[in-house]
């Protein structure tokens, strides 16, 4: 960066000010260190960063309604109105029997609260078209809550309903903890009186069912009656608010037309919590489960300690209750943070050793001293801007560790050089810093500009990756502050003239001879080298395989399944309990930490919650794996900040466990089983590797297309799972009043009203007791018998005669899907698959089935690719734009620095050539290219030219080849040292990545190997290209 004489004087004064104000400088340094430590203790800590995508959800339902009725009655109308709202990017609808869920994805930067009010207005405007007893759908902005810990409540003494009551009290207690955003009790706490009617007895008594329903609806009254303001005192008026016990309710007398009966004559009554049909077990013991969530500001580690303290007190209060925990995310956070922090510390140690060997111990000391201080300054910024410390920010720090060292090495090495030349120490510190301030500042800017355009990335994946540039930019800016303010004074008081240094003369002579030989044939070398590297790079790119994210050893896997709709919860439990027993038997052998088993609830293959009696799920957490390398075994425990007492006893990888269990349960095929899959926890970006959405109005064609596509996928080697969403659901029985029924006076309304009181299981009335509202619901004791339904007797209008339902109505059966998923009002079914990336990638799979997809489109089926394909398409588009912006910003920086298009383009020419190193790195380590590899290559654009800037700044004014060689040789030592230290800083992530940190391993490989190759380009190719472009100026003096 060109600095005029006035600017140089200002810079010199600033450097001198901070060098002479010793007390001020050291006070500021110590203050920032202590402040950083304080902020580190309080800053939120997570495994992954907060991903904020503005969304509005609309949640509603109507008990007993089929998906077809809900779609036509509610969802379609709401969708149409919501799609017309400005700022709504996408409308997705999920409909299951009895409930629906609409998700509105919003454009970035909108006033979501204003949009929420408009959504609420749409719901209110459509309320008149909804059933009078249907609760109004609720609209809300998606709350960003994060899983913290799961809590279980179990007892050998208390009944299930008593446990629910106790768990509800625990929920209230835990909810009071600050920063706990939500405590979810996976049981209904709604209290009800179930009035179980016996329609056979009702028919024997000859009761009018409409009149009886009216009497039951009026059995209780909970609203105020009024107020008396008598001169002797004021009185509020209210009813008794309904019966207070089962016996009292049974003894209630009902007047049905002219007949009086007790409720006990025609019904049974149960007082209970509303049945949720969900059974929960942990490690074989039945329990009630609570899920705790935290807000984005909470420190998970300290928050879990508060939760466990509350649980301890609760266990002492209820001696016959056992409250336990599982899937504690604070343990996971400790493990992951320890891994990355120890990697940073080990990288720092390697850097210190390298500088000690290559320069001297004092330079090593002041350089390494500055890195933790720069990181702590970064922590202060992250905390003040409401970011958390997570794996991505820490890995960002690990990635930039070597780059942080670069600035410090260049300045420290230059100060040491001036001291070695015999200059006075203060002047050496001033001159050594001033001399390199422009190239160091410019190289830091180019790195910042390479990463900062990634801030434009959108979507959940974009939000995830965005933390990398944030961490890099923050730490580089902090490094500049440390390098120009604090490092010079450390050098002033630490460096000595007499310190022994490594003798570089042999290396310098070797480099000089190579450069002399190349410069004799500079034109041939530049052209031949450029062409051969370009061809090699193109060949490597097309020969490499691509997958979105690398495989990693996670912490959980799932066994999920589904039986046909005729199965009850108990029947499903009886057929799946053998899986639980086998897992418990293998618990120690496989290293299974906890086995959470639920019947009646699961997360389906599209990551949506499904609650129905016929489904089940095992959520299995595994123990920490035994150390996989010497860093994992010896370095991590020593250099970790957080205390982690977890035993590392698991021998098998998660993939090996999943394959073992898949083989073990391959013959598990009980009667009625329709789905069964064992699946490990993924990256969370996509639910499945391959997601293909199909849409057509021709249902028959749609089913045929799905089956063809599944068959095609299943035939491909390496496909480990194939499923679809076109599952058959519960049939719908439509009741059509026949001519005879119409003649008698029956119509859809009066027949439906009579049947709903026996079959809808709806709320008839509400009462009050000491604990609040209790609902009265009614249904027939034989409601699940179709024979009884056909023979259900209904009173003929205006007569006392009864007639069977099947005499006045026709029954029409309608086939329904299990669920409906719509995008922007279009009904869509999907085919999903997961792959074994060692055999085939998702991209390769899509290439194999491309012909089949084209055939389906020719038949009139709309095909939309989601999953990895959708994310890759979006990321390629956005990263390409980010790369263009980065190159433009780097171009401007270089133009300001050199004030020459020729020299700017000369430096930029190294960027495409450096890609060869990044790809070769993947090839050497046997890794596929991934999305994070591409991000690394984008970042490489700014990093690889840092040394080139310093080199060109030193040789740009040379007039002869001898002078060029001499000046280039002066830069050999700092360039080699910065490259070696940068690679060493990245080495722990390149060679020793474990767990989720493997997601960003390809990024480190791109940067590390790309930088090593870039060093060769800077030392060999750049001087040759410079000499070729300046052949008229440079004279070949021997």
Cα separation of 98 and 824, whole Å? 21
pLDDT number for residue 601: 85
Of 485, 616, 525, 673, the residue nearest 22 (C-alpha): 485
Parts of the chain belonging to CATH 3.30.2090.10 = 191-273+731-814
Is the pLDDT assigned to residue 11 strictly greater than 80? no
State which H helix or E strand residue 614 sits in: strand 609-622
Least confident interval from 9-18, 324-333, 737-746: 9-18
Distance, CA of 568 to chain centre: 34
pLDDT number for residue 646: 66
What digits encode the pLDDT tens for the residues 636-646?
A: 777 776 656 66
What digits encode the pLDDT tens for the residues 804-826?
A: 999 999 999 988 888 888 988 88
Radius of gyration of the chain (CA): 36
Choice between 712 and 639, residue whose per-residue pLDDT is larger: 712
Is the pLDDT assigned to residue 978 strictly greater than 60? yes
Q: Do the Cβ atoms of 780 and 198 come closer than 8 Å?
A: yes
Cα separation of 937 and 911, whole Å? 9
Tell me the percentage of the chain whose pLDDT exceeds 90: 26
Is the pLDDT assigned to residue 745 strictly greater than 90? yes
Q: Do the Cβ atoms of 417 and 360 come closer than 8 Å?
A: no
**Residue indicated by tokens 């390298």:** 354
10 Å CB burial of residue 798 (0-12, 13-18, 19+) is exposed
Give me 709's structure tokens: 């596509």
Which residues pair with residue 672 across a beta bridge?
none
The mean pLDDT value for 31-39 works out to: 91
pLDDT number for residue 645: 62
The mean pLDDT value for 449-453 works out to: 86
Cα separation of 228 and 510, whole Å? 108
Cα separation of 197 and 839, whole Å? 60
**What SS3 class is residue 83?**
helix
Tell me the percentage of the chain whose pLDDT exceeds 70: 97
* Most trustworthy range by pLDDT among 364-378, 847-861, 938-952: 847-861
Q: Do the Cβ atoms of 404 and 476 come closer than 8 Å?
A: yes
pLDDT number for residue 742: 94
Largest CA distance in the chain: 127
What digits encode the pLDDT tens for the residues 656-676?
A: 999 999 999 988 989 989 889
Which residues pair with residue 351 across a beta bridge?
none
What digits encode the pLDDT tens for the residues 912-921?
A: 999 999 999 9
Torsion of CA 568, 573, 574, 576, to 10 degrees: 120
pLDDT number for residue 188: 80
Cα separation of 822 and 827, whole Å? 4
pLDDT-derived band at 1035, boundaries 50, 70, 90: low
State which H helix or E strand residue 295 sits in: none
pLDDT-derived band at 7, boundaries 50, 70, 90: low
Q: Which residues contact 969 (CB under 8 A, 6 or more apart)?
A: 508, 511, 512, 515
* Most trustworthy range by pLDDT among 263-272, 541-550, 599-608, 609-618: 263-272
pLDDT number for residue 641: 65
The mean pLDDT value for 235-248 works out to: 90
Give me 703's structure tokens: 């089913």
Where do the H-state alpha helices sit in 318-360?
329-358
The mean pLDDT value for 777-800 works out to: 89
Is the pLDDT assigned to residue 160 strictly greater than 50? yes
Is the pLDDT assigned to residue 497 strictly greater than 90? no
Thinking of the domain 191-273+731-814, which architecture would CATH place it in?
Answer: 2-Layer Sandwich (3.30)
10 Å CB burial of residue 836 (0-12, 13-18, 19+) is middle
Least confident interval from 94-98, 307-311, 608-612, 715-719: 608-612
Give me 315's structure tokens: 């266990």
- First and final CA of the chain: distance in angstroms? 33
pLDDT number for residue 1038: 47
Q: Do the Cβ atoms of 333 and 300 come closer than 8 Å?
A: yes
Parts of the chain belonging to CATH 1.20.1640.10 = 1-40+355-501, 504-543+900-1038
Give me 928's structure tokens: 């596929």
Nearest 5°: the CA angle 29, 30, 35 is: 100
Q: Do the Cβ atoms of 983 and 934 come closer than 8 Å?
A: no
pLDDT-derived band at 4, boundaries 50, 70, 90: low
Cα separation of 1020 and 1024, whole Å? 7
Q: Which residues contact 951 (CB under 8 A, 6 or more apart)?
A: 968, 971, 975, 1018, 1019, 1022, 1023
3-state helix, strand, coil in the chain (%, to 5): 55, 20, 25
Mean pLDDT over all residues of the chain? 86
Q: In this structure, is the dihedral angle defined by the CA atoms of residues 172, 174, 175 and 181, taken in order, positive or negative?
A: negative
**CATH among 2.40.50.140, 3.30.465.10, 2.60.120.560, 1.20.1640.10 for 504-543+900-1038:** 1.20.1640.10
Packing angle, helices 391-420 and 946-955, rounded to 10: 20
10 Å CB burial of residue 108 (0-12, 13-18, 19+) is exposed
Q: Which residues contact 319 (CB under 8 A, 6 or more apart)?
A: none
Cα separation of 214 and 407, whole Å? 83
Is the pLDDT assigned to residue 1036 strictly greater than 60? no
**What SS3 class is residue 693?**
strand
Of 247, 260, 160, the residue nearest 206 (C-alpha): 260
pLDDT-derived band at 438, boundaries 50, 70, 90: confident
Cα separation of 546 and 868, whole Å? 11
**CATH among 3.90.79.10, 3.20.20.10, 3.30.70.1430, 3.40.50.300 for 53-143:** 3.30.70.1430
CA distances from 211 to 261, 905, 917 (A): 13, 90, 84
Parts of the chain belonging to CATH 3.30.70.1430 = 53-143, 554-682
The mean pLDDT value for 104-111 works out to: 84
Least confident interval from 429-433, 513-517, 633-637: 633-637
> What are the DSSP calls for 215-258, one per residue?
HHHTS---S--EEEEETTEEEEE----S-SSHHHHHT-EEEETT
pLDDT-derived band at 165, boundaries 50, 70, 90: confident
Is the pLDDT assigned to residue 154 strictly greater than 50? yes
pTM here?
Answer: 0.79
Cα separation of 482 and 471, whole Å? 16
Thinking of the domain 554-682, which architecture would CATH place it in?
Answer: 2-Layer Sandwich (3.30)
pLDDT number for residue 144: 67
The dotted CATH code for 1-40+355-501 is 1.20.1640.10
Distance, CA of 889 to chain centre: 31
What digits encode the pLDDT tens for the residues 220-240?
A: 998 899 989 888 888 889 898
Encode burial over 630-659: b for 16+ CB neighbours within 10 A, e otherwise.
ebbeebbeebbeeebeeebebebbbbebbe
């Amino acid at each position: 960066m060109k600095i005029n004489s006035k600017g140089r004087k200002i810079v010199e004064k600033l450097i001198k000010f901070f060098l002479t104000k010793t007390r001020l400088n050291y006070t500021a340094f110590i203050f920032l260190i202590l402040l950083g430590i304080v902020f580190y203790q309080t800053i939120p800590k997570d495994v992954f960063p907060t991903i904020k995508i503005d969304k509005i959800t609309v949640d509603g339902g109507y008990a007993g309604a089929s998906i077809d009725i809900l779609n036509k009655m509610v969802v379609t109308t709401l969708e149409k109105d919501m799609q017309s709202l400005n700022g709504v990017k996408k409308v997705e609808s999920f409909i299951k029997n009895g409930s629906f869920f609409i998700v509105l994805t919003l454009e970035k930067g909108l006033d979501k609260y204003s949009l929420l009010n408009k959504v609420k207005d749409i719901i209110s405007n459509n309320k008149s078209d909804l059933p009078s007893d249907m609760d109004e759908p609720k609209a809300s902005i998606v709350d960003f809550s994060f899983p913290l810990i799961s809590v279980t409540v179990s007892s050998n003494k208390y009944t299930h309903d008593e446990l629910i009551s106790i768990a509800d009290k625990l929920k209230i207690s835990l909810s009071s903890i600050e920063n706990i955003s939500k405590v979810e009790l996976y049981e209904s706490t709604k209290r009800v009186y179930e009035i179980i009617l016996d329609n056979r007895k009702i028919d024997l008594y000859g009761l009018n069912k409409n009149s009886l329903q009216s009497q039951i609806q009026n059995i209780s009254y909970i609203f105020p009656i009024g107020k008396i303001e008598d001169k002797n005192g004021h009185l509020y008026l209210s009813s008794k608010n309904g019966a207070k016990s089962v016996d009292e309710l049974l003894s209630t007398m009902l007047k049905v037309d002219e007949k009086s009966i007790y409720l006990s004559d025609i019904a049974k009554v149960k007082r209970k919590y509303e049945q949720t049909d969900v059974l929960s077990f942990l490690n074989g013991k039945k329990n009630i489960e609570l899920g705790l969530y935290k807000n984005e500001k909470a420190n998970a580690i300290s928050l879990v300690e508060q939760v466990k303290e509350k649980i301890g007190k609760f266990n002492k209060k209820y001696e016959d209750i056992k409250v336990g925990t599982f899937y504690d995310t604070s343990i996971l956070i400790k493990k992951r943070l320890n891994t990355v922090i120890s990697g940073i510390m080990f990288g720092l140690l390697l850097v210190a050793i390298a500088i000690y060997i290559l320069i001297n111990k004092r330079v090593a000391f002041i350089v390494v001293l500055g890195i933790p201080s720069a990181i702590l300054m970064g922590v202060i910024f992250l905390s003040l801007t409401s970011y958390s410390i997570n794996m991505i920010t820490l890995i960002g720090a690990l990635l930039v560790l070597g780059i942080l060292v670069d600035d410090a090495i260049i300045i420290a090495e230059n100060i040491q050089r001036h001291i070695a030349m015999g200059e006075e120490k203060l002047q050496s510190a001033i001159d050594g810093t001033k001399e390199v301030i422009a190239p160091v500042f410019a190289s830091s800017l180019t790195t910042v500009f390479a990463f900062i355009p990634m801030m434009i990335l959108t979507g959940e994946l974009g939000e995830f990756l965005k933390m990398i540039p944030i961490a890099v930019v923050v730490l580089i800016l902090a490094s500049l502050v440390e390098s120009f303010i604090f490092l010079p004074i450390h050098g002033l008081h630490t460096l000595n003239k007499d310190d022994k240094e490594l003798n570089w003369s042999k290396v310098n002579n070797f480099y000089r001879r190579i450069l002399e030989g190349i410069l004799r044939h500079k034109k041939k070398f530049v052209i031949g080298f450029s062409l051969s590297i370009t061809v090699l790079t193109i060949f490597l790119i097309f020969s490499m395989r691509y997958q979105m994210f690398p495989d990693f050893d996670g912490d959980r896997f799932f066994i999920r399944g589904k039986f046909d709709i005729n199965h009850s919860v108990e029947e499903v439990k009886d057929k799946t309990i053998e899986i639980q027993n086998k897992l418990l038997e293998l618990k120690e052998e496989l290293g299974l930490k906890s086995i959470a088993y639920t019947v009646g609830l699961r997360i389906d293959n599209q990551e949506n919650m499904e609650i129905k009696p016929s489904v089940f799920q095992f959520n299995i957490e595994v123990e920490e794996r035994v150390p996989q390398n010497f860093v994992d075994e010896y370095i991590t425990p020593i250099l970790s900040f957080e205390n982690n007492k977890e035993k590392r006893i698991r021998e098998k990888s998660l993939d090996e466990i999943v394959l073992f269990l898949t083989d073990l349960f391959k013959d598990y095929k009980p009667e009625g089983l329709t789905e069964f899959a064992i699946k490990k926890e993924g990256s969370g970006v996509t639910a499945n590797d391959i997601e293909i959405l199909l849409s057509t109005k021709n249902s028959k064609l749609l089913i045929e297309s799905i089956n063809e596509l599944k068959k095609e996928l299943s035939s491909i080697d390496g496909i480990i799972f194939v499923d679809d969403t076109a599952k058959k659901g519960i049939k719908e029985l439509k009741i059509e009043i026949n001519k005879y029924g119409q003649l008698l006076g029956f119509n859809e309304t009066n027949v439906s009203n009579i049947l709903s009181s026996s079959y809808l299981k709806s709320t008839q009335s509400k009462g009050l007791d000491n604990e609040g509202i209790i609902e009265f619901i009614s249904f027939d004791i034989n409601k699940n018998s179709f024979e009884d339904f056909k023979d259900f007797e209904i009173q003929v209008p205006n007569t006392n005669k009864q007639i069977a339902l099947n005499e006045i109505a026709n029954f029409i059966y309608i086939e329904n899907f299990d669920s409906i998923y719509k995008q922007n009002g279009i009904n869509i079914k999907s085919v999903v698959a997961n792959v074994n990336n060692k055999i085939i990638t998702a991209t390769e799979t899509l290439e194999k089935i491309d012909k089949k997809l084209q055939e389906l489109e020719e038949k009139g089926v709309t095909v939309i690719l989601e999953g990895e394909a959708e994310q890759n398409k979006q990321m390629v588009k956005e990263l390409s734009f980010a790369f263009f912006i980065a190159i433009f910003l780097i171009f401007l920086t270089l133009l300001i620095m050199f004030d020459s298009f020729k020299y700017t383009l000369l430096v930029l020419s190294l960027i495409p050539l450096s890609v060869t190193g990044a790809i070769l790195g993947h090839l050497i380590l046997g890794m596929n290219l991934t999305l994070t590899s591409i991000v690394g290559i984008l970042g490489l654009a700014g990093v690889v030219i840092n040394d080139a800037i310093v080199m060109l700044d030193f040789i740009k004014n040379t007039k002869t080849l001898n002078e060029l060689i001499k000046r280039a040789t002066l830069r050999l030592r700092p360039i080699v040292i910065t490259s070696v230290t940068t690679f060493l800083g990245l080495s722990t992530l390149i060679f020793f990545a474990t767990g989720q940190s493997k997601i960003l391993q390809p990024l480190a490989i791109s940067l590390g190997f790309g930088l090593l190759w870039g060093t060769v380009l800077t030392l060999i190719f750049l001087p040759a290209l410079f000499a070729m472009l300046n052949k008229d100026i440079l004279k070949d003096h021997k």
